[in-house]
Amino acid sequence: MVYGIKDVGLPALSRRPDCPAAARKTAAQSKLGTMSNGTQVNLATVGSDELQAMPIAVFNACLEQMSAEAIARFKRMRKLNEAQKAAVERALSEPAGAKKSGKAGSGSPREKTESGKSGGNEQAGPKQPVQASLIKDIFLRLIAWWEGVDTDALARSRGIKRWKRKTVVRAAAAEPAKERTEEPTPPLTRVELLQKLWGDGFSLPGGADFALRVAAPARLTKGDFCLDLAPGLGGGMRAAAQATGAQLTGIESDRELAQAAAALSQAAGMSETANIRPAELGGLGDDDFGPAGRYSAVIMREAMFAVEDRAGMLSALHRALKEDGSLLLTDFVLDGNPDRPISQAVAHWRAAEPDGAAPWTEAEYREALEAQDYIVERFDDLTAKYLPLVREGLRRFHDCLQNAKLPPETLPILMREGNLWLARNQALESGHLSLALIHARRALPMERPDLTEAEAADDAADESDDDISMEQGREE
């Protein structure tokens, strides 16, 4: 039987075709409506029917707001009528800077006079710019990149004050820096980009400290076996193996991450204690959880919300655990208030997940775990500790957009990751979604009131046979 895990580690972005134009358009369109000042039509967001019906005067006015690079990209991507084609060719043939004439600083005397009049009206003065948040500034950069305009100019045109990181003034260097010859910037791979956002060897927020916090309730020791079904790049597994002496096995559904994780474990000399392999293309099967009763703990981070057959998965994990073994999950959990409608932020997050999302409430989680003979030890809300970790990754994402000289091949990957984590961040901030740490034990026979003495004896015999098989395997 196959238990379909859709999203293990970072949700299956590698399965989506890399389409730079589509990725740029999607990222820009997602916020153009909310960030527009309502006075301009953006040709990138106009539908095909509306574009064909658009008056040529309006079309020309829109072209005047676009750079030559944006016009050329627009020409390649959209189907235009003859009049629009001629207008595009005229716009592209204009000398650089010609379209800028008549804008700020070059208005007619009448315009300047009228704009300077106050007449005692308090509203005549210039409006104060709105301070942008980090998230809005990220979207400003994405839109500016799509439209081929300067980010600062776009912010000024929309009355937005750019977000800036607080900087510490440092003493100047004693000697002037030597001039360096710039070399072409190679494109970042997805694995390299994830490590820029979340740290070396990690593909999820929190680094080693958060990974050890998740694993702590299992109290792993030397000689224990642990199964990780969402290892990502394996940084958390390697941290736990080093801290506890346990032997961890990771099965990662994203083959790109699995291959990189195996290489990182090998480079660290931990191929035996933190072994990671890719899952089969069809998903996880029974063999991935065996032999029965082997593992002291099973860990699964930010993944269960996208598993199709969650009851089947919990049953398989129950068989894999030793009696009294620990199941450790971090997962996105819905607010359990039935009278509270799903917020727009949560709906946007569910749509942003590459394969969708169907999170449970705490009550649904507890019911499902108890039905599979788990004892729920803790159900902790870690949102307040998790959100700062996500925001730190978003700051690194912002720095990549601001400081790094990224080639075009890198930008679609950057925007997909950024859009996903922006959506997760906003859903968690809404209060309708939380990140929970769930610790459940496989119940002992005496803790299962529905189990007869004969069934308990059979279970004990099965466990004994499994222990003998494992010992024989070690001797071989």
CB 317 within 8 A of CB 16: no
Task: Take residue 221 and report the two structure tokens written for it.
Answer: 């020791």
Question: In what helix (H) or strand (E) does residue 135 lie, and over which residues does it extend?
Answer: helix 134-147
pLDDT tens series, the chain, 476 aa = 444 444 333 333 233 333 333 433 343 333 333 333 344 566 766 667 778 888 888 888 888 878 887 888 788 777 888 888 988 888 888 775 555 444 444 444 334 444 444 444 444 455 566 666 666 677 666 666 655 566 777 777 777 777 666 655 555 555 555 555 556 666 778 898 899 889 999 999 999 999 999 999 999 999 999 999 999 999 999 999 999 999 999 999 999 999 999 999 999 999 999 999 999 887 888 888 888 899 999 999 999 999 989 999 999 999 999 999 999 999 999 998 777 788 899 999 999 998 789 999 999 999 999 999 999 999 999 999 999 999 998 888 777 777 666 677 777 887 888 889 999 999 999 999 999 999 999 988 887 666 555 555 555 555 445 444 444 444 44
Question: In what helix (H) or strand (E) does residue 316 lie, and over which residues does it extend?
Answer: helix 310-320
User: What pLDDT is stored for residue 450 in this prediction?
Assistant: 62
Terminal CA-to-CA distance of the chain, rounded, Å? Answer: 29
Does 190-443 carry CATH code 3.40.50.300?
no
User: What pLDDT is stored for residue 257 in this prediction?
Assistant: 95
**Strand-pair partners of 103:** none
User: What pLDDT is stored for residue 189 in this prediction?
Assistant: 85
**Cα gap 286→13, rounded to integer Å:** 25
**Residue 310: Cβ-neighbour burial (10 angstroms; 0-12, 13-18, 19+):** middle
User: What pLDDT is stored for residue 145 in this prediction?
Assistant: 60
The torsion angles phi and psi of 215, rounded to 5 degrees, stand at -80, -15
Q: Please name the amino acid found at residue 271.
A: S
DSSP string, 72-89: HHHHHHS---HHHHHHHH
Question: In what helix (H) or strand (E) does residue 362 lie, and over which residues does it extend?
Answer: helix 362-371
User: What pLDDT is stored for residue 37 in this prediction?
Assistant: 38
DSSP string, 372-437: TTEEEEEEEE-HHHHHHHHHHHHHHHHHHHHT----TTTHHHHHHHHHHHHHHHHHHHTTSEEEEE
User: What pLDDT is stored for residue 166 in this prediction?
Assistant: 60
Q: Please name the amino acid found at residue 259.
A: Q
User: What pLDDT is stored for residue 456 in this prediction?
Assistant: 52
The set of residues, in sequence order, having a beta carbon less than 8 Å from that of 196 and lying 6+ positions away, is: 188, 396, 400
User: What pLDDT is stored for residue 132 in this prediction?
Assistant: 64
User: What pLDDT is stored for residue 45 in this prediction?
Assistant: 64
User: What pLDDT is stored for residue 368 in this prediction?
Assistant: 96
CB 255 within 8 A of CB 32: no
Nearest alpha-carbon partner for 261 in 283, 240, 231, 291: 231
Rounded-to-10 torsion of CA 421, 138, 187, 408: 120
The torsion angles phi and psi of 426, rounded to 5 degrees, stand at -70, -35
